[in-house]
Homo-oligomer: A and B are copies of this chain.
Amino acid sequence: MSLNDETLEALKADLLEAFSDEGPNKEAFVERLSEIRSADIGEILEALIEEDDALSTTIGVLDLLSDERAANVLGYLPGDNQLDVVGKLPDGQVLTLLEEMSSDERADLFNLLGDDRREALLRRMAHREREDLKRLASYEEGTAGAIMTSDYVAIASGMTVSQALMRVRQTAPDAETVYQLYILAGDGQLIGTMSLRQLMVARPGALVDDIMIKDVISTAVDQVQEDVARIVARYDLIALPVIDSDNRMVGIVTHDDAMDVAESEATEDIHKGMSIGALESGISRVPLWSLYRKRVLWLVLLVFANLFSGAGIAYFEDTIALEVALVFFLPLLIGSGGNAGAQAATLMVRGMATGDVGVKDWGRMLGRELLVAGALGITMAVAVTPIGIMRGGEAVAMIVALSMVTIVLFGSLIGMCLPFVLERFKVDPATASAPLVTTLIDASGVVIYFSIASAILAGA
């Protein structure tokens, strides 16, 4: 069973006690730690650093663990905490930890270090390790290269099944996954793949080239990470091989890393939907200054966009003076349009992000939205009509009901179309955020409402 919150809290308390000056022997804690999973120790340490700034305790705990275990736990900490810890350790110990980390986590941590530290560490590494690390650390963040690992099982073309099985056994401790094997030609080109399952049931003397799948699903090293995650999800892969521009294999992205990418991309999309820029870490730990910067840009832009609504109201001052009861319904009408429009935009943006909706579907989506938004507008108009009659009589009720249908329909269509328009102009459709859509519809709503009012009042 995985640990629940209470167990984690209890463990943290025990750990703090074990490391306090008058506490029992730290060594008594070793056995207890051995029963806890690295992911859970990571979470406890993260909470410790966050709440109590207990960096020395964290390092004490890492010292109690084997090198491999310590590297594993370190890998579960957020980047800035990894940096805090590594900053307190001598080069030799950092080197050991780096060696034990998986190659993708190693490269991530390495990229966070200062130039001096990097140079010092690189000098002490073996040539091959150094080149591998420099290569992995060089890929741009957010690409396949940055999330891949070079610890995979490569099988040379021409091997027999039993030779390949031997190779799997030899590389088992180091590879991130041994369950998918990649067959490489002499020049490193990826020419086929097979699952360990296939290998195990094959005749030992057969050549891997004869049983491998030649049509390999792979991705380019500079592919954006959300596409990488989508390919892994679509084809239910355990790992996706990454190739360079010459079709040479350079690494794999494993299913667990793809799942992490999918989660962080979903978070980014949710935040974008509210006009918040991509945060570099979770909301509980992102620096306040960064959080301010990621929220302020659109908020200020929308202040100015909202001026149009005000200008609309000012323009129709005479209409308002004719029938003051109209102002009562203003927030309700533009609010309703904004809500319906934000719904429509959100549905399209998410549909595009998951691949459910493409630009080619625009026409069909428009037709569907027309029907649904029409029905929604009529329903809401019916709901608001009695209040219109009570508050301002039949003329006002008619104005409000008619405006409701028009604004909800118009707002929904704006909200639905905006993501397509943005996509068409190569802007991220997620820019069609709820605040932006709502603000656009507010301004249009004012104009629609008072135009309808002017017409009906003039006719009356």
Q: Taking beta carbons and an 8 Å cutoff, which residues of A are in contact with B?
A: 1-2, 5, 35, 37, 39, 168-169, 172-173, 178-179, 196-197, 200-201, 215, 217-218, 231-238, 255-256, 258-260, 262-263, 266-267, 269-271, 273-276, 282-284, 288, 291-292, 295-296, 298-300, 302-304, 306-307, 309-311, 313-314, 317, 324, 327-332, 334-336, 338-340, 342-343, 346-348, 350-351, 354, 356-358, 360-361, 364-365, 368, 371-372, 375-376, 379-380, 383-384, 387, 434-435, 438-439, 442-443, 446
Chain B residues with Cβ under 8 A from A330's Cβ? 310, 313
Chain B residues with Cβ under 8 A from A35's Cβ? 215
A343 to B258, CA, bound (A): 27
Please state if A292 and B372 are interface contacts (CB–CB under 8 Å): yes
Chain B residues with Cβ under 8 A from A346's Cβ? 270-271, 273-274, 276
- Which of these, B303, B307, B376, contacts A295 with CB under 8 Å? B376
**Shortest distance from the beta carbon of A78 to any chain B beta carbon, whole Å:** 10
- Which of these, B314, B328, B356, contacts A310 with CB under 8 Å? B328
Please state if B266 and A300 are interface contacts (CB–CB under 8 Å): no
Chain B residues with Cβ under 8 A from A284's Cβ? 351, 356-357, 361, 364-365
Q: Nearest B residue to A215 by beta-carbon distance?
A: B35
Q: Nearest B residue to A274 by beta-carbon distance?
A: B346
Please state if A256 and B270 are interface contacts (CB–CB under 8 Å): no
A334 to B330, CA, bound (A): 12
Chain B residues with Cβ under 8 A from A364's Cβ? 284
Please state if B234 and A351 are interface contacts (CB–CB under 8 Å): no
Please state if B197 and A267 are interface contacts (CB–CB under 8 Å): no
Please state if B434 and A303 are interface contacts (CB–CB under 8 Å): no
Most buried by B among A273, A296, A339: A339
Known: A179-B179, A215-B35, A343-B275. A263 touches B350 (CB 8 A): no
Q: Nearest B residue to A218 by beta-carbon distance?
A: B1
Most buried by B among A173, A269, A302, A304: A302
Q: Nearest B residue to A76 by beta-carbon distance?
A: B234
Please state if A304 and B383 are interface contacts (CB–CB under 8 Å): yes
